[in-house]
Structure 1
Amino acid sequence: MTDESSGVVAEVFQNEYLPEGASVADAVVTITAGAGAGRTVGAGASAAEVIMIDCSGSMSGERLVQARKAAAVAVDTLRDGVAFAVVAGTDWAQMVYPDVQTLAVANDDTRYAARQAIRHLKAGGGTQIGTWLTLARELFLANPAEIRHAILLTDGRNGESARTFQAVLDQCTGLFVCDSRGVGQNWSAAELIKVADALLGTADGMKDPAGLEEDFRSMIEAAMGKTVAGVALRLWTPAGARIRFVKQVHPGILDLTDRRTDVSARVGDYPTGAWGAESRDYHLAIELDPDTVGAVGEEKLAARVSVVRGEEVLAKGLVRAVWTDEEAKSTRLNKRVAHYTGAAELASAIQEGLAAREAGDTATATARLGRAVQLATEAGRSDTVQLLARVVEVQDARTGTVQLKRRSENKDVDIDAEIAALESRRTTRVRTN
């Protein structure tokens, strides 16, 4: 359903028929914001951008050359009036432009000055990503911009403790969106994913730094296309119901389940970040109170879904449950729900398998990566299978029978697996007709 004045549409895809005694309702909600959404609720929204470039010692040479070019392109892509800063990250965070801790305002003069400052970036030191994010947070807090976006580029693994890093992410959560990128052969997909999940951004990685320039341009163009901030997915559920999960599943997978803000005992908001003219899919699973599960033929409202900005409702939809004893109805799979269920399982299998491999748990790594090969094969994701084949010997892709390969001194092998972990989080939308 849509509010014509908002330009936002919410469509619910599900098989509402449940077998007798079943209590879990699954649905995919597709939210589409058209050009009208920006004009009515986000026109003239102010924006701020912080570009964080890893300048640790390992960035020396071609990586830093390409990172400088990418940062300069990002600055050039900013529209006039956007507040921005460039930060160099090592064991600490240092202002590159401007040279004091504040945000400049993008225009011809400041873009030129920023490009000149970027040319002098030098490599040296370690990697403490939390300090970079902390400086970005301080810069954003001192600026009233409605839409806040950051880019974080690194070629290495974070040197901070997991506790310290998580504390920083917790402090940044809800304040700005951050797209994280890895380049080279020693970054960690798990760390980039952690940043993306906490800060509602994307995560990607590449071995060849030559791709950075175009990637940075694309990220800034996407950020500049945002016109409305503070949009949330609001869910009402009946008494006794439990929300199993809420996930963005397209264009990328982001788990929002633990990001709920209670509006009341039965209503909660899940943040979705800033929007432009775009479409996203969200997968919801609601477990109804078993004591109130309906008899055959009974219908129950499992959830009311609203797209809200503050208390303004931009669109809404309904998730239903209808109990039936007709097997043909209750076993019919909704294509969109089934598609995203498989995509989420693939992403989890790869991440869990690589984590077990890193920890030396051969049995778990073999089982989970084998399942990932099987799922990727079923989904026709041959590129993902090829990347995983660098770390496992695929004996039967259809059944997921694999053997874990020995760790190699060849860094390409490890980083291909990390790239596979990130690629598995990007999804395509299945046709429903």
Structure 2
Amino acid sequence: MPVDPGAPPATERPSVRLAVDQWKYLSATEPHPRMHVILSVQVTGTGGDRRTPLLAQVLVVDCSGSMSQEKMHAAQRATAAAIRKLPDGAPFAVVRGDGDATVVYPDTGGTARADDRSRRAAERAVRRLVAGGTTCIGAWLDLSRRLLAEQDAPIGHVLLLTDGKNQDGDRMPLAEVLEGCAGRFVCDAWGIGDGWDGRELLRITSRLHGSASAVREEASLPAAYEELMDRLLAKTVPRLDVLVTPMTGTVVRYLKQVHPTEAWLHPEGGSHRFVTRAWGDETRRYQLCLDVDPAGRPRREDLQLAVVALDAPGVTGLLLPQPQPCEVHWTEDASLSAHTDAHVAHFEQHQQLGEAVAAATDAHRRGQPDRAAEHLGRAVQIAEAMGARTLLRRLSELVDPGAPAGPVRLRPGVTTADFEHLITASSRSTFGPPSAGATAVPQLTTAARTTCVDCARPAPATARFCPSCGHRFPEQRP
């Protein structure tokens, strides 16, 4: 069934849709051909009965010595705002992060169940936090893993805030900790101040199926935490598994999420089952790469390379779609095999955009402003081609395009922190072309609609986030 991310659910019962987009023609004469496929997965109708808490939450607050009084106050207010959002009965804990990790609420260790009393007590514990010590993010995540392992809530989540880089990695290597945490919970990581590392946050959130964000003004952090909690509490499907069954002669090379953020998926054991976590009403896109061999295969006909199916272990009452085939048509016609699927091309552009931003950041760190500007100029070109309007606005804060034929230049006063913010912003992709064959988005009345600046698709005027691409709308808009 084709995916239309703007369409309302066809039934009140929670359901999942799956669409496959690809350019099926591959050269039968080129060595080592690969098939790239974009999978669009949409979940709708997940409102459901939430009397049983689905969420277990760990709130990690960076209390290292670099946390200034202003940053600490913002962190305290934001953490308190998140605590107030917790539904009754949800297990939760607050962790102090420095060179180690300590549970500051509940004071007995472990977790507490959310109610009026425990929420008030947790806020008091948060207000008593003071800064001091170093930064060991691996210890923070490892303690979070152990806390969540004690809970039976189907959705485990860690909300992590830091203003610095992982300094004590030798004592608790982050790579090893991430492997131990992968598949156990989802982590969203936030940067505050000007000393954090955007790529380090993305490394964490990509492995733990979350997102990396940051605030420029400390005062905006509480509202950002509240919005994140609203989205988190709307997720009622703990997991969806993508099952890829390759045909003889086909090898599954990788599956990665490409929208709304990039995340590499790792198969369970030696299988081709890829686990995705914590769904609400949303659409995500994945890129499947298959190694294929044309030797001995028929020409001038469509052949099945693999079958993609979705599964929801332990989730009842969810309507799942029919499995969908991935196909190939071997050809000697170069005019056919030279084409690339528009969906694949879109996300390849997004990858190039991220590489340009990373190269600009490295050049700026090396004290090479002209090289940084050159890479950002390339990023501007790609963002314009993709229609990534939000990112273009971010880029315009760092560079001055100058004359049409001249090079771009860094604006005066650009800092390292500006590049870290750009890295996290560039990790969010635009939706790309609609899935082939998708039905048209129902037209909303002028008074009841708005248009997303990232994907140009309509949304209800009351929406806080675009239902198609997840872009956050400003609080006041026409």
- What TM-score, normalized by structure 1, do the two folds share? 0.85
Q: Which stretch shows the higher mean deviation, 232-241 or 313-322?
A: 313-322
Counterpart position of 1:374: 381
TM alignment of 1:21-100, pairs within 5 A: 21=29, 23-35=33-45, 44=52, 46-100=54-108
Which 5+ residue runs of structure 2 have no aligned equivalent? Answer: 3-9, 437-478
Counterpart position of 1:306: 309
**Offset at residue 47 of structure 1 (A):** 2.0
The answer on 1:123 being equivalent to 2:126 is: no
Aligned CA distance change for structure 1 residues 122 and 309 (closer, same or farther; 3 Å): same
Distance in 1 (alpha carbons) for counterparts of 2:231 and 2:280: 8
3-state SS of 2:108 partner: coil
Aligned CA distance change for structure 1 residues 36 and 98 (closer, same or farther; 3 Å): closer
Match of 1:286 among 270, 281, 290: 290
Distance in 2 (alpha carbons) for counterparts of 1:253 and 1:397: 32
Counterpart position of 1:176: 185
> What amino acid is aligned across from residue 200 of structure 1 in structure 2?
H
The answer on 1:426 being equivalent to 2:428 is: yes
Distance in 2 (alpha carbons) for counterparts of 1:397 and 1:100: 64
Counterpart position of 1:245: 254
**Offset at residue 48 of structure 1 (A):** 0.3
Match of 2:354 among 341, 347, 358: 347
Q: Which stretch shows the higher mean deviation, 81-90 or 300-309?
A: 300-309
Q: Deviations over 1:347-380 (max 9, x none)?
A: 2332355346547899997875554343224224
8 Å contact from structure 1 (residues 92, 132) kept in 2: yes
Aligned CA distance change for structure 1 residues 361 and 231 (closer, same or farther; 3 Å): farther
8 Å contact from structure 2 (residues 37, 288) kept in 1: yes
Match of 1:320 among 306, 327, 334: 327
8 Å contact from structure 2 (residues 53, 90) kept in 1: no
Q: Which stretch shows the higher mean deviation, 308-317 or 79-88?
A: 308-317
**Offset at residue 11 of structure 1 (A):** 0.9
3-state SS of 1:283 partner: strand
Aligned CA distance change for structure 1 residues 196 and 293 (closer, same or farther; 3 Å): farther
Give the helix-richer structure, 1 or 2. Answer: 1
Q: Deviations over 1:69-95 (max 9, x none)?
A: 110110111111110011111111122
8 Å contact from structure 1 (residues 246, 284) kept in 2: yes
Aligned CA distance change for structure 1 residues 75 and 19 (closer, same or farther; 3 Å): same
Distance in 1 (alpha carbons) for counterparts of 2:148 and 2:313: 21
Task: Among all aligned residue pairs of Structure 1 and Structure 2, give the percentage whose two residues are the same amino acid.
Answer: 32
8 Å contact from structure 1 (residues 45, 227) kept in 2: no
3-state SS of 1:284 partner: strand
Q: Which stretch shows the higher mean deviation, 143-152 or 333-342?
A: 333-342
Counterpart position of 2:344: 337
Q: Deviations over 1:146-203 (max 9, x none)?
A: 1100100001111123671211111111111100010111110011011101111100
Counterpart position of 2:158: 150
Aligned CA distance change for structure 1 residues 398 and 140 (closer, same or farther; 3 Å): farther
How many equivalent residue pairs? 420
Counterpart position of 1:199: 208
Distance in 2 (alpha carbons) for counterparts of 1:204 and 1:94: 24
8 Å contact from structure 2 (residues 14, 45) kept in 1: no
> What amino acid is aligned across from residue 218 of structure 1 in structure 2?
E
Aligned CA distance change for structure 1 residues 292 and 177 (closer, same or farther; 3 Å): farther
Aligned CA distance change for structure 1 residues 194 and 79 (closer, same or farther; 3 Å): same
Q: Deviations over 1:209-244 (max 9, x none)?
A: 122112111222222122222322111112332334
Distance in 2 (alpha carbons) for counterparts of 1:329 and 1:98: 63
> What amino acid is aligned across from residue 378 of structure 1 in structure 2?
A
Counterpart position of 1:271: 275
Give the strand-richer structure, 1 or 2. Answer: 1
> What amino acid is aligned across from residue 109 of structure 1 in structure 2?
R
3-state SS of 2:285 partner: strand
Match of 2:243 among 221, 230, 234: 234
Counterpart position of 1:416: 418
8 Å contact from structure 2 (residues 138, 169) kept in 1: no
Q: Which stretch shows the higher mean deviation, 374-383 or 48-57?
A: 374-383
Which 5+ residue runs of structure 1 have no aligned equivalent? Answer: none
3-state SS of 1:291 partner: coil
Q: Deviations over 1:272-319 (max 9, x none)?
A: 112122211111221212425542x12111221111234989333221
Q: Which stretch shows the higher mean deviation, 74-83 or 124-133?
A: 124-133
Q: Which stretch shows the higher mean deviation, 320-329 or 26-35?
A: 320-329
RMSD: 3.3
Aligned CA distance change for structure 1 residues 357 and 160 (closer, same or farther; 3 Å): farther
The answer on 1:141 being equivalent to 2:149 is: yes
3-state SS of 1:169 partner: helix
8 Å contact from structure 1 (residues 242, 289) kept in 2: no
Aligned CA distance change for structure 1 residues 36 and 159 (closer, same or farther; 3 Å): closer
Distance in 1 (alpha carbons) for counterparts of 2:248 and 2:154: 35
Q: Which stretch shows the higher mean deviation, 53-62 or 286-295?
A: 286-295
Q: Which stretch shows the higher mean deviation, 16-25 or 26-35?
A: 16-25
**Offset at residue 389 of structure 1 (A):** 6.9
Distance in 1 (alpha carbons) for counterparts of 2:433 and 2:97: 43
Distance in 2 (alpha carbons) for counterparts of 1:10 and 1:372: 32
8 Å contact from structure 2 (residues 252, 290) kept in 1: yes
Distance in 2 (alpha carbons) for counterparts of 1:260 and 1:361: 41
